């Protein structure tokens, strides 16, 4: 039969048989921490959702979007039968990747027209609401 070895407890710093492994504690220290509500948890570094560069680009886009919608209050597409006429969204004619804040490719639209443009890409290209993303 293998005898368990005594090891140093991280709670009371005495040589005891350990109960938990992270951080290593004896049974008494483990229960004391568990029931006191101060159980030590490993620190995990959270990965940010956006990089600093992307946050700056998004901030610039929000400012330009707001200004563009103020300057263009009416829907520029007016293709859907449900069009209300008041623009509340920006359609990026060449996509958002490289042209997120490029106002040359903005189109002020309302929700029904924007949905129509996204659901009918071929017809939208024919009407000039979307542009080919592969050419500059």
> What pLDDT score was predicted for residue 80?
82
Average pLDDT over residues 8-20: 73
Asked whether residue 96 is domain-assigned, the answer is yes
The verdict on 91 and 25 lying in the same domain is: no
Residues 27 and 78 placed together within one structural domain of the fold: no
Q: Which residues have C-beta within 8 Å of that of residue 91, sequence separation ≥ 6?
A: 77, 106, 107, 108, 109, 114, 117, 129, 130
Is the pLDDT reported for residue 127 higher than 80? Answer: yes
> Does residue 1 fall inside a structural domain?
no
Q: Do residues 42 and 50 lie in contact, with contact meaning Cβ atoms separated by under 8 Å? A: no
3-state secondary structure of 51: coil
My answer on whether 17 and 61 are in the same domain is no
Q: Is residue 47 part of a domain?
A: no
Kindly state whether residues 66 and 18 are assigned to the same domain. no
In a domain, 12, yes or no: yes
Q: 106 and 69 share a domain?
A: yes
Q: Specify whether 25 is located in the same domain as 57.
A: no
pLDDT (average), residues 69-93: 93
* Residues 68 and 119 both lie in one domain: yes
d(CA 69, CA 89): 8
Q: How many domains does the structure of the chain reveal?
A: 2
Residue 43: inside a domain: no
Indicate if the alpha-carbon torsion angle 120, 121, 125, 126 is positive or negative: negative
Is residue 26 classed as helix, strand or coil in its secondary structure? strand
- Name the residue among 40, 31, 129 with its Cα closest to residue 80: 129
Task: Assess whether pLDDT exceeds 70 at residue 109.
Answer: yes
Q: Is the pLDDT of residue 40 over 70?
A: no
Q: Could you list the residue range(s) of the whole structural domain that residue 19 is in?
A: 7-36
Kindly report the pTM of this predicted structure: 0.64
């Amino acid at each position: 039969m293998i005898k368990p070895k005594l090891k140093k407890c991280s709670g009371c710093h005495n040589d005891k048989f350990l109960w938990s492994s992270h951080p290593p504690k004896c049974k008494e220290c483990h229960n004391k921490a568990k029931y006191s509500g101060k159980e030590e948890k490993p620190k995990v570094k959270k990965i940010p959702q956006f990089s600093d560069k992307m946050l700056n680009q998004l901030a610039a886009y929000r400012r330009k979007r707001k200004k563009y919608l103020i300057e263009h209050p009416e829907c520029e597409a007016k293709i859907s039968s449900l069009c209300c006429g008041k623009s509340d969204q920006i359609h990026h004619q060449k996509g958002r990747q490289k042209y997120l804040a490029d106002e040359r490719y903005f189109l002020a639209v309302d929700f029904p027209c924007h949905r129509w443009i996204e659901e009918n890409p071929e017809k939208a290209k024919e009407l000039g609401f979307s542009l080919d993303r592969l050419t500059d």
